[in-house]
A and B are shown apart, each in its own frame.
Chain A
Amino acid sequence: MEYWIYIAALTAAGTLTGILVGAIPGLSATMAVAILVSLTYGWDVTTALAVIMGIYQGAVFGGSITACLINIPGAPSSVITTLDGYPMAKRGEGGAAIGWACTESFIGGLIGVLALWIGTPLIARVAVGFAPQDYFLLAVFGILLVGSFAEGSFGKAMFTASLGVVLGLIGLDLITGMPRLAFGSDILVKGVDLVTAILGLFGLSEVLFQLYQNSSAHIIQKVGRLFPPMNQLIRCLPLTLRTSAIGILIGALPGVGGPIASTLAYDHAKRTVREPSRPFGEGAYEGVVASESANNAAIGGAIIPMLTLGIPGDAVTAVIIGAFQIHGLRPGPMLMTETPHLFNLIVVSLLLATFFFLIFGFLLIKPFIKLVSIPQNILLPPIIFVTVIGAYAINSSMLDVAWMSFFGLLGFVFKLYKFPIPPMVLGLVLGPLIDETFRRTMISYHGNPIDILGAIVASPISLSVVALMGVTFFLMLRKPRNSKA
């Protein structure tokens, strides 16, 4: 019992931190988890996971606070919430917008956790039978999807994803044992440390870019009534269930995650809700319902491929894989049988975090607003300091601090020229998997493409993966309607 009270306290602390970080524009859940992961080296893995899950759930909800109040999403998954949340705030319903966001995030989060609890053991059972070519197809699918939905240019996203894969291959070749792309350097032979790279790319680069932008948004301090009317909540429940299901399905696709889930859910709401409370884009409750239920449901979905296949569902789960690596664990089908207690811990922590952000969301909204009003040029320099400590903590080595600085500056340059960073992190995570599975497939079939194609056609699992890729691309290529109804 004491153990679970301890876990609950850690999850509560993580959720509180997550809401705060998520609410501050520019500071994302990925950044918070990246910084924390580096500091968990000396922690027990259960302690680290409880805090991380709290931050993850809290930050996705936290992003909606500034999305509603100042039209700046605190997290990428809250971008769609601005479409109706901010018009609500402009009508003097800022509190109601946050209340809707909190309630719907809670329901979506609960459904996502339920899907995680039921779906993970089922998929893990199937995943044991995956052949190298199935993993290869899934990994490439993940990278292509991220490229397709990155902001701006597909080419830029593919560039950063490919660079991530190549950088992830620096070091010893797992199959031959020979150094690769090390250029005779002892430092490069050790390879790029995933957590150090993530810390620089999501921590330092974010801070430098925020300082570069020097933004100082004014927060609406007056929020008004928070609780949504019960009859409206019940009326929106069928929509909540549908958009939560979309969130889970999209979240479970490798490399996609909350931002796409909320976009598709919003589009679905616009197509199916015949009589919205107001026109979409002008403060319709249904817009906030769709976006917020989907992005929190996507969390449960995103964790499923991470735990069962070792393939991250989104950028945050890519970072969480780093946390597993720090503690000597490798996510995949065997994780469920070798360390089932970790799966239970993740489910319980996410469930607790869902209740905690509902409580914190309603009780502490006013202090939160005051805290996120602190100017960014006061908040950001200490974060640089924390990233330096975090990088050092990984291996007690100044070399990691230097690597973190390199990736931080690289990430800053990428941000400056609008090259997306999440595909690069997915490339770093998936690079070794792509390399190993591609070469094992080639070795197994003696490099004969006809044999490989035959193996894919003959295997129900491979065919399912190909069908999943086809259906996803078809759905994703359908353009959502305009935001204004």
Chain B
Amino acid sequence: MSATSYKSGNVGANIAFLLVGVFFFVSSFFIDRGIYPIWSSGMIVPALLSAVMIGSAAHSLAQAIKARRAGGAIERTFEPRVMGYIAAFLVYIGALFVVPFWLASSIFLLFSFLYWKSLSLVNAIVVSVAVVALSMTLFAKVFYIVF
């Protein structure tokens, strides 16, 4: 996959943020008001603030469109190498629910060092095991709960 296939750019991101604002704005109208009038109910602050979100995102979107039309915008992209690493991180978080903490963490650290080509295989194994072992010693209470 090429980097361009992920190129959503600032405009796409701002549209997504605008939709988040709209979602919370609409949702705030479904909040139970109880016995309170609208101006002192639980919906007033979420409704006002999500309206601010919509306005801010729309303003930011307008700026992004203007910059894109002017041709000088530097568009940030989701690069495959970073997306791949995030996917691996999510797999790691999922694995924590089923695999022992130390095992999943050691493998993830080893993978990280190799993925970012920061250490050779032997060094990566040594550092990963050392980091997990050191953490287990320092945060013994946490690890006691995990096991």
Contact = CB atoms under 8 A, between A and B. Distances in A.
The answer to whether A binds B is yes
B53 A447 contact: no
Contacts of B119: 378
Interface in B46-91: 46, 49-50, 52-53, 55-57, 59-60, 63, 76, 78-79, 82, 85-86, 89-90
A178 interface: yes
Given A392-B146, A443-B40, A159 B31 contact: no
A435 B32 CA distance: 15
Contact of A211 (B46, B53, B82, B142): B82
Interface string A16-53: 00000000000000000000000100100000000000
A413 B86 CA distance: 12
Contacts of A178: 31-32, 34, 42
Contact of B46 (A156, A166, A419): A166
Interface residues of A, number: 55
Interface string B3-36: 0000000100110010011001001100110101
A175 interface: yes
A159 B21 contact: yes
A438 B41 CA distance: 10
A181 B109 contact: no
A180 B142 contact: no
Contacts of A340: none
B1 interface: no
Interface string A367-400: 0000000010110011011101100110010100
Interface string A152-169: 010110110011011001
B93 interface: yes
A180 B44 CA distance: 12
A417 interface: yes
Contacts of B139: 39, 389, 393
Contact of A386 (B59, B135, B141, B145): B135
A442 B39 contact: yes
Given A166-B53, A385-B109, A378 B89 contact: no
A211 B116 contact: yes
A385 B32 CA distance: 40
Contact of A165 (B17, B49, B82, B112): B49
Interface stretch (A228-236, A291-299, A316-324, A401-409): A401-409
Contacts of A375: 118
A152 to B, nearest CB: 9
Interface string B128-141: 00011001000101
Given A39-B139, A176-B42, A178-B42, A162 B82 contact: no
B116 A377 contact: yes
B128 to A, nearest CB: 9
A179 B76 CA distance: 38
A208 B82 contact: yes
A176 B35 CA distance: 9
A90 interface: no
A42 B13 contact: no
A183 interface: yes
B96 interface: yes
Given A181-B46, A392-B146, A417-B10, A447 B37 contact: yes
Contacts of A39: 139, 142
Contacts of A381: 108-109, 112-113, 116, 118
A416 B14 CA distance: 12
Contacts of A102: none
B40 A153 contact: no
Contacts of A208: 82, 85-86, 89
18 contacts: A155-B63, A162-B53, A166-B24, A173-B42, A180-B31, A181-B31, A377-B117, A381-B118, A385-B131, A386-B135, A388-B105, A405-B93, A416-B13, A419-B17, A435-B42, A435-B45, A442-B44, A443-B40
Interface of B: 10, 13-14, 17, 20-21, 24, 27-28, 31-32, 34, 36-37, 39-42, 44-46, 49-50, 52-53, 55-57, 59-60, 63, 76, 78-79, 82, 85-86, 89-90, 93, 96-97, 105, 108-109, 112-113, 116-119, 127, 131-132, 135, 139, 141-142, 145-146
